[in-house]
Structure formats: C-alpha cells, structure tokens
A and B are shown apart, each in its own frame.
Chain A
Amino acid sequence: MKLIVNGESRDFTDGVSLEGLILQLGVRKETVVAEVNRKIIQMDQRSGLKLSDGDQIELIQFVGGG
C-alpha cells in the first residue's frame, strides 16, 4: 500500500502499524512525534495503530531554532 510520509509517497506492506513504519524507516522512535491524517498519535498508541492505504503521516523532531 502507499502511504504519504512527510509529503512523499512510499510503499509499505499492508497493515503496517505506525510503530512498524517508524522502525522500517530507521527513525529513532524516542525522538520523533507522529501525526496520522493531522491527528497526533501518542507514543504508547503507535504499535496498536494499523495504517491504511493513502494515510498521511508526518514524522516531526526537534531541530535547532531561535
């Protein structure tokens, strides 16, 4: 299935969870905040959340800023 991650369309296996997607992308899960279809998903809910074709995922982290 196709998921839109940070604005880019990418292929993932059907039924992947948000936790699984973060792992597959090699993103350090403890430093990232995730939104699915503009809704923030708390860290403890990631593994239980199955993603669906076309879902829009935003993975956000802290960077330098003033």
Chain B
Amino acid sequence: MTATVEKIKSEDSYQINGKTFRSRLLVGTGKYATNELMAQCLEASGTEIVTIALRRVNLDAKGEKTLMDFVDPKKYTLLPNTAGCYSAEEAVRVAHLSRATGISDFVKLEVLHDEKTLLPDPIATLEATTILVKEGFTVMTYTSDDPVMAQKLEQAGAHAVMPAGSPIGSGQGVLNPNNIRIILEKLKCPVLIDAGVGSASDVAVAMELGVVAVLLNTAIAHAKDPLKMARAMRHATEAGRLSFLAGRIPKKLYAQASTPQKDF
C-alpha cells in the first residue's frame, strides 16, 4: 500500500509554461529570523519553487551575504515577485529588473491596491499580465478569489492564476472555497492558492479543493518553530493532494454504521 502511495506521489506532477514540478508547495523567503533558518525551512518543505523579491542594495552593508548566498538557483526555480508595486508600470519595471539578473524569467505578478488590505488592483493586474505575457515572461498572477477576474487573467495569457485564500499574511485560511471551486471549474491553466493560509489544515483544505499547489510564506516564517511548520506544510500539501485524488465520501446528515449491525 505504501508503495502505491509513493508511486502516485512520484507520478503526480504538474506543469507551468512547460516546466514540470512535483512539489506542490511554493515557499517564500521573507520574514525569517535568519537566512540560515530560511534555507533549512526551504529544504524541509520539499519545495521546488521559491519566491524572492527585489529591493535596493543597502550601500552600508558592504560585502555582507545576500539572499542568493542561501538560495541555490540550480536547486530551486526562482519566482521573483513584484510585491510592493501599486501600478502596472511599476510591476513591469520590477519584472524587467528581475529578468536582467539572468536568473529567472518567471514572475509572481502582484499589483496591489492599498497597504492595509494588500488586495490586488484587478485592472492594473490585468494590464501588467497582458504586457508581461507578450514580453515572454512566465507569468503567475496573484489575484483575489473573484472567478470573473480569474477568467480574464487566463484569457490575457497568465500561465498560472493564483487567488488569495484570504488576505496576505492574515492566516485566515481559505475563506471562500466556493469561489475557488468555481475558478477551478472555469479555468484550464494551473490554479494555485497564494496567500492567507496559516496552518497545515488550511493547506490541506486548499489542496482538497483541487488547486495544483499552494504558495505560502508567513505561515512558516512566523510559526513558533518554523522548521517544524515547514515539515508540517510539506505533509499537509501531500495529504491534501492525495485526499483530493482519492475522492472524499459525500457528507450525510445521519450516521452510517461502519460495523455490520446484524448477525451477532
């Protein structure tokens, strides 16, 4: 039986713009106490895709180690984000900068509306998606859980559409599973839950809905024990995926005995 489960896991892959992945957990590199801990958590999570950000060099920190000393681009597919961008123009600029590093042409596109909610600006997000797809980027777009918007993004050529389960960093889990179900029904491109998960059970719930993967950062980085949580998230992703593939029983109002009730 174990062999069968391992076989399912090893054969169960998905693709983003032609690139194949097996781990269904994408992990961010922000908010960790140290880069060393971050690197250990990435390893423990089993992730293959790692999000990173671009910021100004600190000119007073000469010769100090940088993030890239802790994240091996040969081991992980790097997914630079456009976090902190509030217009399509800014997001496109950041994508251009990240591609100029020569490290990745993947982009986690997020164009935000305001700092308090960190909700995406749908119009600017659509505009930036259209531009970056035309420019040959592999565009994975962060969006709200609005099924109509998700369809518009797919039509614009997004290689993956990534609705938030709940607001970024809020740890509230998947607040509107029905919207995610509708998105999954309507879209053909990969759909990932990006943001909002707080615990292993949140991840399992997301995976059981049928999304191809979950992207998270804070839930590991700010856990009391990030390394343990990284392992928990790995197992939850796998458990949720297997549960989705296995197919859950229907929910019923009344009990159904598990043990035969006759022939004592």
> A residues engaging B (CB < 8 A)?
5-8, 25-28, 31-33, 35, 38, 40, 42-43, 58-66
Contact = CB atoms under 8 A, between A and B. Distances in A.
Contacts of A8: 59
A63 B59 contact: no
B83 A60 contact: no
B56 interface: yes
A33 B100 CA distance: 7
B30 A40 contact: no
A58 B54 CA distance: 12
A27 B66 CA distance: 11
B52 A65 contact: yes
Contact of B57 (A6, A65, A66): A6
Contact of B83 (A25, A59, A65): A65
Given A31-B66, A31-B68, A63 B100 contact: no
Interface of B: 28-32, 35, 38, 51-57, 59, 62-63, 66-68, 78, 80-81, 83, 93, 96-98, 100-103, 168-169, 195, 215-218
Contacts, number: 98
Contacts of A28: 63, 66
Contact of A60 (B57, B78, B103, B169): B57
24 contacts: A6-B57, A25-B62, A26-B62, A28-B63, A31-B68, A33-B54, A35-B97, A42-B100, A59-B56, A60-B56, A60-B57, A61-B55, A61-B68, A62-B98, A62-B101, A63-B53, A64-B31, A64-B32, A64-B35, A64-B52, A65-B81, A66-B83, A66-B168, A66-B169
Judged by DSSP, the binding face of B is mixed
A26 B66 contact: no
- 4 closest A-B pairs by beta carbon, nearest first, are A65-B53, A66-B28, A66-B217, A26-B62
Given A60-B54, A63-B52, A26 B97 contact: no
Nearest to B64: A28
Contact of B97 (A5, A31, A33, A43): A33
Contacts of A26: 62-63
A58 B55 CA distance: 10
Given A26-B63, A31-B68, A33-B97, A66 B56 contact: no
B203 to A, nearest CB: 15
A27 B62 contact: yes
